[in-house]
Amino acid sequence: MKKFVALFLALLMIGALAACGTGAGSKYAGTYTCEKYKCVGDSEGAWTNDEEPQTLELKADGTGTSTRDGMEYKMTWKVDGETFTMQETFAGITLDYTGTIAADGTIHLYNGDPTNDLTYEYYFAKK
């Protein structure tokens, strides 16, 4: 009986540690659609939205997919407070994204340094 209790407690602790490690969770899981985006360096501030929607599918385990231009990219994500971070991979290339996620299900995201003119700024809303 002691072995059973010890095993049960060990599995419970491993599960709790795994959940804490990703910073992800079911609260944020779901599909998000890009409402608008622009290049930070665009002096006219022209926001764009493609005919084919860009989406983020966030899974509770901290993985997901990003879809744009008819392509699907694997990604990992996490949330720390309101800070949202994501890494997208395709063909051996990794892109880092940083931003915020709000309680209303909106994500404000940058694909790199927000002060760099070549960085893109995105706004996603949860479906």
| Alpha-helical segments (H) within the chain | 2-22
Q: Provide, rounded to the nearest whole percent, the portion of the chain with pLDDT above 90.
A: 51
The pLDDT tens digits for 97-114 are 999 999 888 999 999 888
Average pLDDT over residues 5-12: 36
Average pLDDT over residues 6-20: 38
Average pLDDT over residues 22-49: 83
Residue 36, SS3 per DSSP: strand
Residue 112 near residue 31 (C-beta atoms within 8 A): no
Which residue ranges form the domains of the chain, and what is each CATH number? 24-126 (2.40.128.20)
